Amino acid sequence: MRQLMKSLLNGLYGLVIVSAMAMPALAQTSGVPEELLKNNRRQQGDGLTFCNDAHSRMRDFDRDIANAIGDALFLKVNFEEGFGGFPLSGDGFLQELQVAMTNTCDVMMGLSVQEESAFPEWAAMTRPYASLPYVVAVVEPDWQSLSDVPYDRMIGTAMQSMGEMVYITWSLQQPEAKRWVRLPYANMDLMVKRVNDGRLGAILLWQPTYAQLKRNNPEAANLRLISNKPVPETFTKVGALVAARDSFLRTEIDQAIDALVADGTIAKIMEKHGFEGVAGDSH
């Protein structure tokens, strides 16, 4: 269950921290009382109800993607604000998600699509509509890659994110003298403050989080991106969740995503929001 909650939290890191977030992989049962679930099918005719995390930093991006999917399927798009504010452990998320997907939502936007994740029997993931990288940001003007950062400088990482997990795996394979001390942060604004005051040499975070910081936090004005090398490049693939019983809907959404990737629509939406990465699947 814990491993499972980490997988969904990774795509939602931008989504829960971004709520950026990292979200758990889903277990086979969530323990939701049956009386809270309305198991009759909703009849909407020519519409779909899309939901997303109420605290998501990708809320507007996900809504633009949802509108594009609705247009491609000639369906009216309705939005319901989802839920949010869960701890990094993801406690309570799975239960709230099952209630929402059973009672209210046809599609839940902005979740991590990880091939190794197990999903509960009631849920199914679409293919990714965007693959968004983890990036390294610094204020030093001469550094071009993480390898230029002296090993006596600490680096900040977005707590429990996929990028942090990849960094930990990489660093454990290096000699102690050839790796940086890592400080994990749940508060991205504080991490920006610490790289500006010199306590951190560099920060590793999800690119959508970086884009939002550049828009909204004046202290991020001096930040610039450098290469992740020698740490491997890391992407979080972002897709949507549908009920497993809606297999036809999942197929239609997958086909719409393919078409929107092929005609450049998703790439344009990414550019609008300042997101870098790959439209669709990174592989």
Q: Tens digit of pLDDT for each residue in 245-279? A: 889 999 999 999 999 999 999 999 999 999 999 99
Neighbour-count burial of 90, counting CB atoms closer than 10 A to its CB (0-12 exposed, 13-18 middle, 19+ buried): buried
Residue 203 makes CB contacts below 8 A (sequence gap 6+) with 136, 137, 138, 155, 156, 157, 185, 191, 192, 194, 195
pLDDT band per the 50, 70, 90 thresholds, residue 187: very high
Q: Are the beta carbons of 114 and 22 closer than 8 angstroms?
A: no
| Residue 240 pLDDT grade (very low, low, confident, very high; cuts 50, 70, 90) | very high
What does the pLDDT look like over 86-99, one tens digit per residue? 545 455 677 788 87
Q: Quick check: 1 and 27 in contact, CB under 8 A?
A: yes
Alpha carbon 198 to chain centroid, angstroms: 28
Q: Report d(CA 56, CA 14) in Å as an integer.
A: 7
**Topology at the third CATH level for domain 133-226:** D-Maltodextrin-Binding Protein; domain 2 (3.40.190)
What are the domain boundaries of the chain?
Answer: 2-131+237-279, 133-226
Topology match between the domains 2-131+237-279 and 133-226:
yes
- Select 2-131+237-279's CATH number: 3.30.565.10, 1.10.3720.10, 3.90.700.10, 3.40.190.10: 3.40.190.10
Under DSSP, the state recorded for 146 is G
Nearest in space to 51 (alpha carbons), one of 97, 82, 23, 15: 82
Q: Is the pLDDT of residue 29 over 60?
A: no
225 alpha carbon, distance to own chain's centre: 19
d(CA 64, CA 221): 26
N- to C-terminal Cα separation, the chain = 27
Put simply, whether the predicted model's pTM sits higher than 0.85 gets the answer no
pLDDT tens for each residue of 96-137: 888 778 788 899 999 887 766 666 788 889 999 999 999 999
Beta-sheet pairing, 76-81 with 224-226: unpaired
